[in-house]
Amino acid sequence: MKYEVTAIALVVALLLALMRAVRGPTTFDRILAVNAMGTIAVLLIAVSGFLTGRPDWLDLALIYALLNFIGTLAVLKFIRYRNLGLDGGLERRHQEEMFPWKPPR
């Protein structure tokens, strides 16, 4: 019973995230919606694994959580640099411009 209730709550959250992704209005709403959807997907897979009596889906959900991170990193890098292929030197210089910090001697 408790798994059903959890699944229904997750589906409600999914629909809310869907509404935010579709209505928008700014791009950042959509980014947040996709991020939330990633978390909801992980939880929904885990719960439905218990719901259908196969708790080994938990491993799958864990891998999803790790994969979500790649997309989030790419989005963050795109917003910050407008580029995904910056070499390390350029990135470091950019960072030094943004955060001028000298290591203590």
Partner 1 sequence: MTDWLHLVLLIALVVVALDLARLRDLFAAAMLTGFFSLLCAVYYTIVDAVDVAFTEAAVGAGLSTVLMLGALSLLDERVETGRVRNRIGALSAALAVAAMMLYATPDMPAYGDPTSPVNQPDRPAWRYVHQSGKEIGVPNIVTSVLASYRGYDTLGETNVIFTAGLAVYALLAGVRRKRGQDAE
Residues near partner 1 (CB under 8 A): 7, 11, 14-15, 18, 21-22, 24, 27, 30-31, 33-34, 37-38, 41, 44-45, 48, 51-52, 56-57, 60, 63-64, 67-68, 70-71, 74-75, 78, 82-85
- Residue pair 35/73 in contact (Cβ under 8 Å)? The answer is no
Shortest distance, position 77 Cβ to partner 1, whole Å: 8
Shortest distance, position 42 Cβ to partner 1, whole Å: 9
Please say which residue, 5 or 22, places its beta carbon nearer to partner 1. Answer: 22
The answer for 39, left when phi > 0, alpha when psi is -120 to 50, beta otherwise, is alpha
DSSP of 30-72? HHHHHHHHHHHHHHHHHHHHHHTT-TTHHHHHHHHHHHHHHHH
Shortest distance, position 63 Cβ to partner 1, whole Å: 7
Please say which residue, 83 or 95, places its beta carbon nearer to partner 1. Answer: 83
Name the CA radius of gyration of the chain, rounded: 19
Please say which residue, 87 or 103, places its beta carbon nearer to partner 1. Answer: 87
**Tokens linked to 22:** 């579709």
